[in-house]
Amino acid sequence: MRADPPIRLLSERDVRAVGLSLAETMALIEQVYLLDAQGGVEVPMKIGVHPLEPDNLLHAMPAWIEDAHALGMKWVSYFPGNAQRGLADYSGIIILNDADSGLPLCIMEGMHVTFVRTAACATVAARHILAAPPRSLGLIGCGRLARWTLRMMLCAFPTIERVFVASRTPGSRESFCAEMQSESSAPLAAALDVRSAIEAVDVVVSSIPPTAERPVRAEWLSPGSVFIPLDILNSWRDEVLSVVSRVVSDDPANFRSRLQSKRPNALGAIKSSVALQALLAGSAAGSGPTERSFVAICGIASTDVIVASQIYRRACAANLGQMFAL
């Protein structure tokens, strides 16, 4: 009788308990981007369905990373109407498979990995684009992604001396600053408005839900700055792409497809497009001291799978999680 190996189930608490550090996460992201540039990663464009409402989505994101012997898939949903029902907008799980047999090894909570790896991707991009270490950081939005972005940026850039935080309501940004100040080596300031968190700021990162306002304006982005909308299309006006020297993306084709579908007026303003993987591999140069860069982190599955694979190995060594048979 067939006896398939049991599957390890890891909760968010288990995932956090393995103790993967911020620096280790960024190193994994750099590793997988370099492997991708060398052709050692198989990552098809994500596919999805959109049940009941056009903004609802459920995406399947598989990846195979040969050198890391990491194989798996993230299964992630975004249902923006959930907030009205007291439910989380996002949910996700990551499934890891044995590379030799294809059999499932692990199912883990996926949103913690998503937030951490996305912040790491943004930080790695900034590190390879900026002409000089940043002294200031602007955050537009105060959710979990903003929290992890703050942690990653401060870990990578001890040069940051000022952090400005903008959000839809004064209460949310003031609470964010009060709660996160203990984790920050730089003072956190609740900005009076979005403009105050952008002008004369070296790195600006937005993570806001869809809004008709799109608060980020082109004229506020400083020469030499990097703008990273982790919300992809939600925060910036069309003219932003007309003032940046180039768009850097971990998946340029995916980003152009999103623009074509949702923001066609902005698509034609792109002057130059560069793959983030090419920057890390040295086949594309970083920005000059007066150039503005726009970074589109589309979220490729290889970044999820390589981080999840390391978490799985550590969880096995520490005997974390629950074992079950299908």
Residue 128 confidence (pLDDT) above 80: yes
Q: List the domain boundaries for the chain.
A: 7-113+302-324, 128-300
Tokens of 110: 């996926």
Tokens of 44: 């098809």
DSSP per position, 147-206 = HHHHHHHHHH-TT--EEEEE-SSHHHHHHHHHHHGGG-SS-EEE-SSTGGGTTT-SEEEE
Residue 150, Cβ density class (10 Å: 0-12 exposed, 13-18 middle, ≥19 buried): buried
Query: What pLDDT score was predicted for residue 48?
Result: 87
Q: How far is CA 324 from the centre of its chain?
A: 31
Q: What is the pLDDT of residues 41-94, one digit of tens each?
A: 999 988 889 998 888 899 999 999 999 999 999 999 989 888 888 888 889 999
Using a pLDDT cut of 90, give the percent of the chain over it: 83
* Mean pLDDT, rounded, of the chain: 94
Q: What is the pLDDT of residues 88-115, one digit of tens each?
A: 888 999 999 999 999 999 999 999 999 9
Is residue 212 very low, low, confident or very high in pLDDT (cuts 50, 70, 90)? Answer: confident
Lowest-pLDDT range, 47-56, 145-154, 296-305?
A: 47-56
- DSSP annotation of 245 reads S
Query: What pLDDT score was predicted for residue 181?
Result: 96
Domain 128-300 has CATH 3.40.50.720: yes
Over residues 173-193, the mean pLDDT reads 95
Which residues have CB under 8 Å from 102's CB, separation 6+? Answer: 71
Sign of the CA dihedral running 208, 254, 57, 20: negative
Domain 7-113+302-324 has CATH 3.30.1780.10: yes
Over residues 268-272, the mean pLDDT reads 89
Over residues 200-227, the mean pLDDT reads 94
Distance from C-alpha of 311 to C-alpha of 58, rounded to nearest angstrom: 24
Lowest-pLDDT range, 1-5, 23-27, 256-260?
A: 1-5
pTM for the predicted model, two decimal places: 0.94
Q: Which residues pair with 106 in a beta bridge?
A: 8, 96
Residue type, 36: D
Over residues 179-187, the mean pLDDT reads 95
Over residues 234-261, the mean pLDDT reads 94
Distance from C-alpha of 134 to C-alpha of 222, rounded to nearest angstrom: 12
Over residues 290-298, the mean pLDDT reads 94
Query: What pLDDT score was predicted for residue 1?
Result: 55
Query: What pLDDT score was predicted for residue 290?
Result: 79
Distance from C-alpha of 246 to C-alpha of 274, rounded to nearest angstrom: 7
